Structure 1
């Protein structure tokens, strides 16, 4: 188990360092789609959900795609992959009831960002790792924000939002993040 976590960590590090370069001619190229799908898959390896987030000890880790997710075909290729003793189950979520039914990882597509202000209060305390791709996503209630900088795809993490949702993020994941954020209020 320790060796497999090390290999996953190494793969993620290599992807962050070399897998996504300035060689991309346009945003959302096939290479970028593959890397974003790999990110979501690897995030599942570095998150700890409480036991009561699952119906049974071998229940799957459900990845829900909310809205249009341009790399969905690549993410579906991970369907059935094992994360520990749990299979990864990727599906489309069309509404809050789909999410409440048991999403562990929720990828929020760009087209659903207008619903976010009221969205966060509805998913609190249901053990959801929320991932998005919009600037400020992790500041406004999301946990992980995948973003493309000038020369690579990176991610920010809001540790406080993760803890609020009952999730624990592995230090290896935090070490790879571009920024680790907290919900701090500015003094006037």
Structure 2
């Protein structure tokens, strides 16, 4: 079984599990795993020159700590994953004030949050809780200098882009 299929399978399993099934895990642990798994579905335009994948969590110490633990010694496409303070490739925020306002930063950084209406406010991926399950919402209009795998988009609610034009 290929690595991509394993990651896709793991994500699909997580996406289908309810919080009741994950009751032995805290919401922070579940979100940290989602962030880590989502990173595998992102392909940055500058991927070939990147030496590591940087994940920033500026306003949620619990998720930051969990992510630091679960990404230790892990890689994405032979690049180590680091939880850092700057030069973010992935940014998880809990407060809208921490969404970058500079367009050049926003173009290079995948923003993720669990806040309601995050994608309506310029965020890329919103982790929604629907019927006890996390269901990602992706706003195609907010995607920058990277692509998101169709495997991830298949398990997400999509808004923006051609999707809205066809509705």
Bin the TM-score by the shorter chain.
0.7 to 0.9
- The equivalent of 2:36 in structure 1 is 41
Q: Aligned ranges for residues 104-115 of structure 1 at < 5 Å? A: 104-109=89-94, 112-114=95-97
Deviation at 1:85, TM superposition (A): 1.1
- The equivalent of 1:71 in structure 2 is 63
**Mind listing any 5+ residue stretches in structure 1 that lack a counterpart?**
none
* 2:106 maps to which of 105, 112, 124: 124
Would the aligned equivalents of 2:123 and 2:142 in 1 still touch at CA under 8 Å? yes
TM-score by structure 1 length?
0.75
- RMSD (Å) for aligned C-alpha atoms: 2.6
Would the aligned equivalents of 2:43 and 2:148 in 1 still touch at CA under 8 Å? yes
Q: Aligned ranges for residues 2-151 of structure 1 at < 5 Å? A: 3-18=2-17, 20-22=18-20, 30-51=25-46, 56-57=49-50, 59-77=51-69, 78-91=71-84, 93=85, 98=86, 102-109=87-94, 112-114=95-97, 116=99, 119=101, 121=103, 123-125=105-107, 127-151=108-132
* 3-state SS in 2 of match to 1:88: strand
Any idea what the Cα deviations from partners look like across 1:132-184, whole Å, max 9, x if unmatched? 1111101111100112223112210111211xx2111110000011x111169
TM-score by structure 2 length?
0.84
- Larger gyration radius, structure 1 or structure 2: 1
- Give the total of aligned pairs: 163
